A = this chain, B = another copy of it.
């Protein structure tokens, strides 16, 4: 048990210091290692396996909607970046510049893509000629670089992994349909795979993406009451296409300008996974995304037949991602380590269990134990993993719902901002100045104007008292 304690004591409790708890979990669960490049992180096998599972399942959902993957260059020539004014103003301050290639100074600087709208425009200009060429629903999985000043593992780093979809359409409606479709793909993926409930909505103009006409977002609620923007989908209208000179011959036999969208989800979502489900023993992973769903711990593993029984049990569970921990550590150490890593289900099997034809199942999410007949283990594992997935979502949803507070006056708003971690639900006049005042007073920003919850709970803007136009979810955000 000494081993055990030491490992558990290594994480700060979240009540004591949430930020430190997060950093400890990321490090002790061996998701991340810091690199000697400031602001860049190394994603270790336990972290990358999460990303691989996210990538595979999200990619399948993309492809089911007709998305095709491509690979674009890492570099954007400065002149290409500069073609669209809002976009360049949004990104130029935070890009990394390549000035030399080999031994020579480049004639034109190249920035490392902070996002690839410009490159996709350049491609579409070359390959889209007729309405028959539309739509193109392209996506790429890659890394991008944004020269952030402060960084945190998964949440903000100078280089991060993501996917970026970029589509081009014949009509505005087609583009809008795709924008919403992809937002729904993200929301469904978060709900069904990551067990993360989100609020879906539209960003205010102040918070929208540089160059977009409309940005839609899904916002998740962390344990500490902060919001995390978990996926965004942008409708560019025809503005970017105009800036880049993309035209096609329409059904009317005239030159038309196409409409574009982009949408992305990044390794940030792993931060959400940690902060929505984790506890003071470490990670808690939903079964659908866990690289290891079941870990079998042989008890008194040196005794005759124990390891063999553990391996037979493993073979009977071949429908799951399962492994046997036969290292020479004590069971207590193994339990702690596996809890830290968040494996959804642990199965203990020792000499007495074998005698009784049994084993013991222990759930990571709520520590519940039950004894299971060995020949019923596969059915029980299936049932429990489904239950865990479902109950993790329900708990997260209950937390989200209990973290929404209504404010009808600015005093109420400021009181909640100071004392109640979570979303603040309040109406707004539509004026950016009010967002600025609120942010200056409380550090709270508008997260979104929700789709499913639009009733104005007051008729006056919570900040200025002018007539209210939108219900807004406000919050402190990562």
Residues of A near any B CB (own CB < 8 A): 33, 35-37, 40-45, 48-49, 51-52, 68-77, 80, 93-103, 110, 112, 119, 122-123, 126-127, 138, 142-143, 145, 147, 158-159, 161
Contacts and interface: CB of A to CB of B under 8 A. Distances in A.
A131 to B, nearest CB: 13
A99 B97 contact: yes
A50 to B, nearest CB: 11
A48 B77 contact: no
A227 B375 CA distance: 56
A37 B147 contact: no
A97 B98 contact: yes
A276 to B, nearest CB: 22
A36 B77 contact: yes
Contacts of A95: 101-102
B101 A147 contact: yes
A248 B93 CA distance: 43
Contacts of A36: 77, 80, 122
Nearest to A68: B45
Contact of A33 (B40, B43, B126): B126
Contact of A40 (B51, B52, B74, B103): B74
Contact of A159 (B42, B70, B73, B102): B73
Contact of A42 (B40, B41, B68, B73): B73
Contacts of A69: 45, 48-49, 52
Contacts of A49: 68-69
Contacts of A158: 101
Contacts of A161: 71
Given A35-B122, A37-B76, A145-B74, A96 B98 contact: yes
Nearest to A327: B132
A89 to B, nearest CB: 13
7 contacts: A33-B123, A36-B122, A41-B73, A42-B73, A44-B70, A45-B138, A74-B159
A395 to B, nearest CB: 30
Contact of A35 (B72, B94, B112): B72
Contacts of A74: 40, 74, 112, 143, 145, 159
Contacts of A76: 37
Contacts of A77: 36-37
A98 B123 CA distance: 25
A170 to B, nearest CB: 17
A213 B333 CA distance: 41
Contacts of A101: 95-97, 147, 158
B37 A159 contact: no
Closest 8 pairs (CB-CB, A-B)? A45-B68, A40-B73, A102-B147, A101-B147, A43-B71, A97-B100, A99-B99, A37-B73
A33 B127 contact: yes
A93 B103 contact: yes
A159 B98 CA distance: 13
Nearest to A41: B73
Contacts of A100: 96-97, 99
A69 B161 CA distance: 14
Contact of A48 (B70, B73, B143, B147): B70
A132 B286 CA distance: 30
Given A77-B37, A80-B36, A70 B98 contact: no
Nearest to A44: B70
